[in-house]
Amino acid sequence: MNQIKMGEFICNLRKEKGLTQKQIGDMLGITDNSISKWERGINAPDIYYLAPLSEIFNVSIKELLNGERNNKRKEKKEENRNKVLEIKNLSKKFGNKNILNNISLSIYEGDIVGLIGPNGAGKTTLIKTILGLLNKNSGSIEICNINLEKNFEEALSNVGCIIEKPDLYEKLTGTKNLKITSIINNINDKEYIDKVIKMVKLNTRINDKVKKYSLGMKQRLALANALIKKPKLLILDEPTNGLDPLGIKELRNIIKDVNKNMRISILISSHILSEIENISDKIIIIDNGYVIEELDIDDIKYLNISLEEEFLDKTSGSKSQIGGNVNEEDN
């Protein structure tokens, strides 16, 4: 049995029984540091070394390895929530290069999902394909149970987004920018628009021309633009790029408020791992066009896993494991 399975066994056992790494280590007569390494597949012995733990807790190794109890817990968590995004077996090529490879993932109502991966992993291609800006080669995309290919406009009516540098009318005021967006989307709800302006903290500057805004203010106006159409899903591609620490913190808090108070699901990509860890409920690691791993933020915190170490470990090995092609320009 390989070291990865050993790590899965320990992780599942600790979740199931609410044990610390030290408690497991004491039972086996080893240090908690060794348990931590085993969970990450480092220097782990054969899994049947843990057979005494299986007997102590009357939990079969097979059951824990298959994650049956954890799967049931996950299903219970999601059973009362609607899917706002479902991707099945999505693939995308540029010429002969495979950029996205058989990707499947789901985002549920109220989720904040962080999308991370190295440069060239396929993150931006994935986002642009979800938004219909790029055509897929195979697979399906459903937004709020509406097939993107069959009902393009209806599906995208549920999505707001900021992709790369936000497009704003710099010579117009923030108010007029939002007015244009509301007209395009047939939104005539002044109370809602005022609520959005207040939520992005631009109420004192909304009547200034955008060219006078700082980068952080422009990003917040772009976020307000994305919210005007009352989306169910908000997609943000590198929203904190170029912002100073104060601007990053301010935007992070706004995004959390939007998710909590407006019940909008969010898919956010970033290279800043600490920000993704601070804001997300679930994290998806993509590399070389494949989904390498999905992590619940609760598990990361509970198991005291370093997202940075997990990211570097998974992405450094994925190219040799998969051996696919990468589009170097895609981030």
Percent of the chain at pLDDT > 70 equals: 80
Range name among 54-63, 262-271, 294-303 with the lowest pLDDT average: 54-63
Q: Give the pLDDT confidence score for residue 56 in this predicted structure.
A: 61
Q: Which residues contact 191 (CB under 8 A, 6 or more apart)?
A: none
Mean pLDDT of the chain: 83
Domains of the chain, start order: 3-76 (1.10.260.40), 97-322 (3.40.50.300)
109 vs 18, higher pLDDT = 109
Which ranges of the chain does DSSP label H, i.e. alpha helix? 3-17, 21-28, 32-39, 51-57, 61-66, 68-78, 123-130, 152-156, 174-184, 190-199, 215-227, 245-262, 273-279, 297-302, 307-322
pLDDT at 241: 87
Direct distance between the N- and C-terminal alpha carbons of the chain, in angstroms, rounded to an integer:
36
> Which distant-in-sequence residues (6+ apart) come within 8 Å of 104 by Cβ?
87, 88, 89, 90, 139, 291
pLDDT given for residue 57 in this prediction = 59
Phi, psi (degrees; rounded to nearest 5) at 106: -135, 145
Residue 328 binned pLDDT confidence (cut-offs 50, 70, 90): very low
Confidence grade of residue 41 (pLDDT, cut at 50, 70, 90): low
Q: pLDDT of 68-89, one tens digit each? A: 445 545 554 555 789 999 999 9
Instruction: Specify the pLDDT at position 31.
Output: 78
Tens of pLDDT along 239-262?
Answer: 988 889 999 999 999 999 999 999
Task: Over range 198-209, report the average pLDDT.
Answer: 96
DSSP 190-239: HHHHHHHHHHTT-TTTTTSBGGGS-HHHHHHHHHHHHHTT--SEEEEEST
pLDDT tens-place string over residues 168-201: 999 999 999 999 999 999 998 999 999 999 999 9
- The whole-angstrom distance between residue 224's C-alpha and the CA centroid of its chain comes to 21
* Residue 217: closest CA among 197, 234, 232, 192: 197
What residues contact residue 238 under an 8 Å CB cut-off, 6+ apart?
Answer: 164, 269, 270, 271, 331
Q: Which range is least confidently modeled, 41-45, 129-133, 194-198?
A: 41-45
Helix (H, G, I), strand (E, B) or coil at 266: strand
Q: How confident is the model at residue 21 (pLDDT cuts 50, 70, 90)?
A: confident
Phi first, then psi: give them for residue 102, nearest 5 degrees: 55, 45
Q: How far apart are CA 204 and CA 222, in angstroms?
A: 16
